[in-house]
Chain A
Amino acid sequence: MSGQEHKQGVTLEWIRAQLSGFGDLEDKIMAVPSGEVSLLYIKSITDGQIISRNIVAPFYEMGNPAAYYSYIVDYPGSEEVTEGTRALDLLLSGYACIGRSGRLCFFDALKAEASGVRETITESISQGPSDALSESLAVNLNMIRRRYQSSSLKMEFTIIGNVSKTKVAILYDESRVNHNVLAELKEKLDSLKLDVLQAAGELEKYISSDKLRIFPKTIVTERPDRVVFNLAEGKVAVMLDTTGYAIVLPSIFNDFFTAMDDKIHLPFVGRFLKLLRILGVSMTLWLPALYIAFTSYNPEIVRVQIALLIGGSRATVPYPSFVEVILMMIMMEFLTEASLRLPRAIGPTATTVGGLILGQAATAAGLIGNIMIILVSVVAISNFLIPLNMMSFSIRVLKYFFVIAAAVLGLVGVVVCLVGFIMYLCSQRSFGQPYFKMFFLDTLGTTLRKKSGGE
């Protein structure tokens, strides 16, 4: 249907033929003594109230089809169309078609079924704004505009997806943005060939260059204040209709450890929290690996008391330490995943039962050492200190590399893995920006604009 090109002289009959089989198609003739107009719309995506109040009622009030038709054409947002493809696109995107003597006018009657502005779920903070982005682009843009009242905030629109026709908005502060980044982003968006685009994370995947990567290069956030904060830093935000998440790019490693309430806290508290997060990441990455290294290769590093404690707690464990660790970590991943997918009412039950089983029964059965339980819970908890989900998932996967390295080479393996990890981070670029640099803006306060001003 959409494959057929129809350039000129679209008629109602042609449209009807194209839309045959649409059960929710409304096709009506409105008539008064002085003439008649036809009205055509798809019921499921149009708003009945708009149709009756703005299309049907005026017709019968005016009683004059010619005057009515020009009223419809002049109505803000309406459009007269002669191209068949365009006509179909409009009908499918929630327009009503009003036809009079061979001319067709399309009237915007879209009913957007979007959830309203809700509270943040994945990026909750203790203080500060709690609104999350909604699933409607218009609402989101409204939220951003309200928080960023500057004439230099530009929005550009494009449509991605042959079938989904997802509206994509690119937002940036013209005076601060790095234009190279912007150009690269636009080029990538233009070259996308997709049928369906539904989530921000999906877009993130398509516009990042290398396929085998472990760290997210762009932030996927649901917080309008984070979007605004990043826009002010000279970054570009990409927003999609039908998803409550926005993409912010370019993003550096450090950005993923910034929570929005760092700014709200007192300076020392904020620093402390950030330090805590870095510590948490280190713990979750290294603890399982270090456990293997200490129990199986280098017990001299820990104190004799701890060595004996670990030795005692492992006395009944039949398998080597890495099997114990991997087994336990996988169990923990199951628990995490399950509590995410389970219906909200059963979720807590699963965690309690799972925790009990893992914590108590596994040690009582002598399958897992006591120390291991403590370790696994530390690893699990500290993993969630990372404010952004994408990074949190990356770290979750990454710790297995450390575990394998430790199982093969001991403490040396952990160190080698750490060096490799840092080297990899240093080699990464996010839209041309070094990924592992400490601050996105350099500390002297010169903005990106000043740096790239000569270009």
Chain B
Amino acid sequence: MRTKRGVVFLLLLLMCMTVTGCNFKDIDRRIFVVAIGIDPGKEEGTFKVSLKLAIPQGDVTKIDEKMQILTEESESISEALRRMKSKVEKELDYVHCKTIILGEQIATKDIRHVIDWAMRRRDIQSILNFAIGRPGALGVLQVKPPSERIPSNSLILAMSGQGTESPFISSVFSYQLMRSIYENGIDPILPIIEAQGKEQFLIDKIALLDKNKIKLVLTPDETRLFNLLSRSNLRTNFPAHLGGGLYQYYTERSSSSYRIVTQHEDDPYIRYTIKIRAILEENSTEDMVTHHMLKRIGEAGAAELSEAVTALLIKICDSGMDPLGWGLHYGARHWNNDTEMAVWESLYPRMKFQVKAEVDVKYSGMIK
């Protein structure tokens, strides 16, 4: 009796395994979408959606990047994706999609439709990187760097900071983008990826968005300064001119903080403090670098840096956008909930900036 029941139970269990349902789909029957590009379609109001598909390699030893790009135009993104399903034999799987690239033409019009779609799809992660593709999203997707082994891996690595730690790249996750679009007192930014031919891309600019479209594009130098202000320990180098010689120092540590000073209603200002611990990296003169010298290089560098940063801040302020979240900062520290943002709106255009940079060049580098 007992064994009979056991056998029946076992059989039932085994039968369970054949009814695994539609959720069960082996990995070799899925095709992974690693990047999505969205451009405006030929007709007004339509999207041209491009998917970059990674095709797995059977033999690991002779791996060669294989990818496929699907393109479809439709007035809605979901519709375009559904249509594309019938262009491939496997199920499109978006769970490994790490990048959504918006064509520049989309970004200069309105990005909210796309970000709304990306946040609603449950299989598209909220930690994927958003970026603007120049000249178009499709062009960026087609870039295939020779160093790449897995399709779109170079984009993923560059954007996530796992690979290159370029001071010119700032990554924006979709949840961050969503937040800065719908939050008061902070405006979204997006990195710009430029396709240079078929084998190279360049990410060294960021676009400041007025909630839904590009308003200002920063130059690479400004992008670097922006990154210096928006994150700590940016690894980069800055110049210092001293007595006709050019010195470059490498920032080993950097930090920036600010204070919004509004004691005098008519004269509000933001005081930025930037602290950098640096190592001398380049010296155009043949002068002996002494401790005293290092101090003077630091001072010269700090002066140049604060000048550049002030110029950037004024440029941002003049554009009327708030990518660093000063308004949010102000609102968070004031109790007049009903009026604080209105007060901020009136204060912001009159905002002045004081930048205090401290550059401490600690070492002269290694010369033997």
Point out residues on A near B: beta carbons under 8 Å.
294-297, 299-300, 304-305, 307-317, 320-322, 370, 404, 407-408, 410
Contacts and interface: CB of A to CB of B under 8 A. Distances in A.
A416 to B, nearest CB: 13
A312 B32 CA distance: 12
Nearest to A401: B13
A312 B153 contact: no
B338 interface: no
Given A314-B27, A316-B58, A408-B16, 15 more contacts: A295-B27, A296-B20, A297-B23, A300-B95, A300-B123, A304-B98, A305-B150, A308-B32, A311-B56, A312-B58, A313-B60, A315-B56, A321-B26, A404-B13, A407-B24
B333 interface: no
Interface in B16-47: 16-17, 20, 23-28, 30, 32, 34
A206 B127 CA distance: 57
Nearest to B93: A299
Nearest to B54: A308
A315 B58 contact: yes
Contacts of A304: 32, 34, 54, 96, 98, 150, 153, 156
Contacts, number: 81
B20 A408 contact: yes
A296 B25 contact: yes
B27 A311 contact: yes
Contact of A309 (B25, B34, B56): B56
A299 B56 contact: no
A89 B26 CA distance: 67
A314 B26 contact: yes
20 contacts: A295-B27, A296-B20, A296-B25, A296-B27, A299-B95, A300-B95, A304-B54, A304-B98, A304-B150, A304-B156, A307-B96, A308-B57, A309-B56, A309-B60, A310-B56, A311-B56, A313-B60, A314-B26, A408-B16, A410-B23
Contacts of B96: 299-300, 304, 307
User: What are the nearest 4 A-B pairs in CB distance?
Assistant: A300-B95, A311-B56, A312-B56, A295-B27
Given A309-B56, A317-B28, A300 B20 contact: no
A296 B23 CA distance: 8
B236 interface: no
B180 interface: no
A182 B156 CA distance: 65
A297 B150 contact: no
Given A299-B93, A304-B54, A309-B56, A407 B27 contact: no
A312 B65 CA distance: 12
Contacts of A314: 26-28
A295 B28 CA distance: 8
Interface string B52-95: 00101111100000000000000000000000000000000101
B60 A370 contact: yes
B251 interface: no
Contacts of B59: 312
B125 interface: yes
Contacts of A322: 17
Contacts of B123: 300
Nearest to B24: A296
Contacts of A300: 95-96, 123, 125
A308 B23 contact: no
A311 B60 contact: no
Contacts of A370: 60
B17 A307 contact: no
Contacts of B26: 295-296, 314, 320-321
B28 A311 contact: yes
Interface in B120-171: 123, 125, 150, 153, 156
A313 B26 CA distance: 12
B15 to A, nearest CB: 10
A271 to B, nearest CB: 33
A404 B16 contact: yes
A309 B63 CA distance: 10
Contacts of A313: 58, 60
Nearest to A316: B58
Nearest to A371: B60
Contact of B153 (A305, A307, A309, A311): A305
A307 B32 contact: yes
A297 B54 CA distance: 18
A297 B23 CA distance: 6
B150 A408 contact: no
Nearest to A315: B58
